[in-house]
Structure 1
Amino acid sequence: MNQSSNNLTQVSDHYTSGAYWLEHQNSDSTYKVRLLESLLEKSQLSLSSTLKAAEIGCGQGAFLFPFANYLENQKIQCKLLGYDISSQAILLAKEKNKHSEDTLSFFIGSAENIPDGLDFIFCMDVLEHVENPWELLRSLSSKSKYLILHLPIEQSIGHMLMQSPSHSYKTFRHIHFYSWETAKILFQESPFKLLNYQFTAASNVSLKIAASPMIRLLRLIRYFAYKFNPHLATMLGGGAVLLLLENK
């Protein structure tokens, strides 16, 4: 096995060995549901009253659980499917699932296991992990009209100065590091077109996430920087972006 194959095996093992999910079993991505609500409103796009959606790389359900609760509060009937390559993550998700399997269910699997005919596919913080992002996007394009992506923007002056890519690789096994410009090129060359986006730091949702006083201050500074000039802010300090894509 060559060095490249060894590295890719290490990336996969990071999430399938079990240790990662024991440390992150209580993760909660409720804020991403709020970001999604804001982005859909901004895009003047409504969710179907009988929504069918799937998440690829769902982990232990950090996004799908609060999303299912949100849909329930909105009186939206849904069929949500979660897929992940980690059996440990899926086991944790199934143990925590308080919804009926007709509403929310979890499966060990990857993109090829996702069924066709969905309203949305969610890909939250996944593209930076996969060997070939274009291949993943192509495989998803036949399964849903819309794709929602949450993507870290880690190719920035601040991230380079702080050597953040090395930290992201060590902690999360990120193997791709995007700037806002390279992210747009990725989607331009994919089967999807970019309809709308929402920088996480530019949303007041980011200010409400629990954190230390210093982190809250930094978020406030970033919030105003993004409000003043989002493209300059992302070049200087990176961040994350939620994107709405439509099948071409």
Structure 2
Amino acid sequence: MDDPISRRYIESDYLEHNPEWDMEDSPWKAGKVAAMLKRFAIEPKTICEVGCGAGGVLGAMKGDFPKADFTGYDIAPDAEKFWGELRDSGVELNVGDFFTLNSRNYDVILLLDVLEHVADPHQFLVKLRPYADHVVIHFPLDLSALSVLRETPLLHVRRKVGHIQFFTKGLALELLEECGLEVIDWQYTDAAFSAPQRGLKTKLFGLLRRLVYILNKDIGARLLGGETLMVLAKPEC
């Protein structure tokens, strides 16, 4: 994996820019995932997170699915610094490429804030499809009319957290369909109002967003950004 995109994670570039590895968001994301699975009465026995980072989501989900076996993969060696207690609790965590190391099928695979970091998300999803009965994907919807006009927000997430793919809701759902994944459910997460790591500008735009969302939430997300999308999908038969 000696390409420039992967190198920023294999080396220490990502950790230097994100010393907490976004752990503050983990319980919030875990709650959204658990609610979506339970809404469709999915009680997985095996859950794997590809791109698990510090492992906070897996740790938080153990309370919702106490009988499940949890596994995580991340290509970043620095992520392992956060895994001590999680490994002690029985979560299997691996440093390396999922497709190289893994040989199992899982009831649920989590891709939370992963696809925006991948050079070829189509190839990635097609390769992943045989390993999962269900997939839960979290997309940051960086692409909006406002972000394109300003451009600075897109450059910021590209440089700070390594986003190289940018999505709207429509583009995200189209990607899954193109890769042979049937969308069972999708929901906006209301990240602009409820996510722990909201910036000052996001908070200031809150009132305007609420007003636009009353008229049309899709249009509001495409105009103003600040939203994310949680999707439950399964491989097409």
Structure-2 separation of matches of 1:219 and 1:63: 26
Question: Which of 19, 32, 35 is equivalent to 2:32?
Answer: 35
Which letter does structure 2 place at the counterpart of 1:158? Answer: L
What is the Cα deviation at residue 136 of structure 1?
1.0
Distance in 2 between residues matched to 1:210 and 1:21, nearest whole Å: 17
Answer whether contact 2:142 2:154 (CA < 8 A) is retained.
Answer: yes
Asked if the contact 1:114–1:143 (Cα under 8 Å) also holds between the matched residues in 2, the reply is no
- 1:174 and 2:163 are equivalent in the alignment: yes
Contact 2:191 2:228 in 1 (8 A): no
Measured after TM superposition, the shift of residue 99 of structure 1 is: 4.4
- Kindly state the Cα deviation for residue 168 of structure 1 after the two structures are TM-superposed: 1.3
Give runs of aligned pairs for residues 154-165 of structure 1, distance below 5 A. Answer: 154-163=142-151, 164-165=153-154
Instruction: Identify the residue that residue 83 of structure 2 maps to in structure 1.
Output: 94
CA RMSD of aligned residues (A): 2.6
Residue 159 of structure 1, CA deviation: 1.1
Query: How far is the alpha carbon of 1:84 from its aligned partner?
Result: 0.5
Question: Structure 2: which 5+ runs fail to align?
Answer: none
TM, length-normalised to structure 2: 0.85
Shift of residue 64, structure 1, vs aligned partner: 1.4
Say if 1:208 and 1:149 are closer, same or farther in 2 by CA, change over 3 A.
closer
CA contact (8 A) 1:156 1:235 kept: yes
Q: Distance in 1 between matches of 2:21 and 2:197?
A: 18
1:142: how far off? 0.6
Amino acid aligned to 2:73: Y
What residue identity is the alignment partner of 1:46? A
What is the identity percentage for the equivalent residue pairs of Structure 1 and Structure 2? Answer: 23
Distance 1:114 1:46, change over 3 A: farther
Normalised to the residue count of structure 1, the TM-score between the two structures is 0.81
- Report the Cα offset of residue 135 of structure 1: 1.1
- List alignment gaps of at least 5 residues for structure 1: none
The within-5 A match list for 1:7-156 is: 9-21=3-15, 23-25=19-21, 27-28=23-24, 29-41=26-38, 44-48=39-43, 51-71=45-65, 76-89=66-79, 91-97=80-86, 99-101=88-90, 104-112=91-99, 113-156=101-144
**Structure 2 match to 1:207:** 194
Contact 2:74 2:98 in 1 (8 A): no
Counterpart of 1:146, as a letter, is H
